């Protein structure tokens, strides 16, 4: 496990060094995220933090990521991540239509399924490919959705990458360990500039390839000592926060008659702030949730099948309770806003 510390360290150091350069580049070419009613920041923020993260990730792999036994898979992963980084840059620059972004993610998912980076759960190619596409597109968008408050996407992704590193290193999976260590280091380095109060954002150029990398790393985890009936829960738990947040947001927007692709202040982080938490404390609270989910995943990886299923069921029950709590909080907030608007109208 300690053999991968240099990979993490290079990713961290490179990200810390590259982020100020990409911030200046973003300012020079006018690539900034402007404030709006559905966003939290009040001043234009430089984007292209994703470029610093991705370049740092690649540099760490280039120096320490010698994986001759997995070269074909490594090339496929880097090609897909690079393609999504390019799509993300173009989206940050021109604001692509959602259908264009989804089409690019679908193409990446199908390519990964074709080259063998796919789910192998049902033993049926059609079902496995369908689940593979759902997993890739879902996680990519989940991380993209989570990029809604200073430091949230970068920090939660770093925690997820760290637990993916621990899980893969304990199982002796060198490719997953190298990739997750490099990604974790790059994200922690960027977090220095992105934690509240942020001085730059990662943009879609960061969230899209990060989401893909987390998806492929979770998919490639293998557990020789755990039954498939329980091992499938492990990557879901590690990536539980973005999955939960996206499910909550999509449910809310559909319930309120809005498009799931329409932005808004209805994420977990926004609801915690509406309940009285400072934005920084809300983000730290969600970091803690990520860490607890990661620890639950590690427990499941070693537990007997019955205990693993019990742990998974317990986490699921807590998740359902949190879902209901946050949805009720949203409904109460909306009622208060409507009542206040009605009072203002009557006064006018």
- pLDDT tens-digit readout, 170-212: 999 999 999 999 999 999 999 999 999 999 999 999 999 999 9
Whole-angstrom distance between the N-terminal and C-terminal Cα of the chain?
Answer: 66
Residue 203's CB is within 10 A of a number of other CB atoms, namely 26
DSSP structural state of residue 45: E
Q: Where are the alpha helices (DSSP H) in 5-70?
A: 5-29, 49-64
Cα–Cα nearest to 149, from 85, 74, 202, 223: 202
Predicted confidence (pLDDT) per residue in 214-271, tens digit: 999 999 998 887 888 889 999 999 999 999 999 999 999 999 999 888 888 899 999 9
Mean pLDDT of all residues in 26-47: 80
In this predicted structure, which of 14-18, 43-47, 186-190, 320-324 has the lowest mean pLDDT? 43-47
Residue that the structure tokens 């690539």 belong to = 31
* The token pair that represents 172 in the structure block: 């002796």
Which residue stretches of 275-304 are H helix?
279-302
Domain residues for the domain of 135 are 2-347
Does the pLDDT value for residue 299 go beyond 80?
yes
Per-residue confidence (pLDDT) for residue 334, from 0 to 100 = 87
Mean predicted confidence (pLDDT) in 65-71: 72
DSSP class of 32: E
348 pLDDT higher than 60: no
Residue 45: phi and psi, rounded to 5, are: -115, 130
Radius of gyration of the chain from its Cα atoms, rounded to whole angstroms: 20
CA–CA dist 312, 231 (Å, integer)? 10
Q: Which DSSP symbol is given to 301?
A: H
| 8 A C-beta contact, residue 101 and residue 43 | no
Q: Is 33 helix (H, G, I), strand (E, B) or coil?
A: strand
The structural domain count of the chain equals 1
- The mean predicted confidence, pLDDT, of the chain is 92
- The per-residue pLDDT for range 240-256, each reduced to its tens digit, is 999 999 999 999 999 99
**What ranges make up the beta strands (E) of the chain?**
32-33, 45-46
């Amino acid at each position: 496990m300690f053999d991968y510390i240099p990979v993490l360290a290079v990713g961290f150091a490179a990200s810390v060094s590259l982020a100020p350069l990409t911030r200046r580049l973003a300012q020079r070419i006018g690539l900034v995220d402007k404030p709006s009613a559905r966003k939290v920041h009040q001043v234009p923020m430089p984007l292209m933090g994703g470029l610093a993260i991705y370049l740092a990730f690649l540099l760490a792999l280039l120096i320490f990521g010698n994986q001759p036994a997995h070269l074909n898979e490594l090339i496929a992963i880097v090609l897909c991540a690079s393609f999504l980084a390019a799509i993300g840059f173009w989206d940050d620059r021109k604001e692509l239509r959602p259908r264009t972004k989804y089409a690019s993610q679908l193409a990446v998912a199908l390519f990964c399924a074709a080259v063998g980076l796919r789910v192998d759960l049902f033993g049926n190619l059609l079902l496995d490919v369908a689940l593979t596409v759902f997993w890739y597109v879902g996680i990519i968008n989940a991380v993209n959705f989570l990029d809604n408050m200073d430091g949230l996407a970068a920090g939660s992704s770093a925690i997820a990458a760290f637990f993916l590193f621990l899980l893969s290193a304990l199982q002796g999976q060198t490719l997953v360990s190298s990739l997750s260590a490099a990604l974790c280091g790059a994200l922690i380095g960027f977090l220095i500039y992105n934690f509240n109060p942020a001085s730059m954002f990662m943009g879609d150029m960061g969230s899209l390839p990060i989401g893909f990398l987390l998806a492929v790393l979770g998919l490639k985890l293998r557990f020789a000592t755990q039954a498939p009936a329980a091992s499938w829960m492990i990557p879901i738990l590690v990536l539980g926060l973005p999955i939960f947040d996206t499910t909550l947001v999509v449910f809310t927007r559909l319930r309120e008659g809005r498009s799931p692709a329409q932005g808004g202040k209805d994420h977990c982080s926004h609801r915690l702030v509406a309940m009285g938490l400072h934005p920084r404390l809300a983000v730290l609270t969600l970091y803690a949730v990520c860490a607890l989910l990661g620890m639950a995943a590690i427990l499941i990886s070693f537990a007997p099948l019955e205990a693993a299923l019990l742990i998974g069921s317990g986490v699921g029950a807590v998740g359902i309770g949190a879902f209901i709590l946050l949805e009720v909080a949203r409904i109460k907030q909306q009622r208060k806003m409507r009542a206040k608007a009605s009072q203002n109208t009557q006064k006018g």
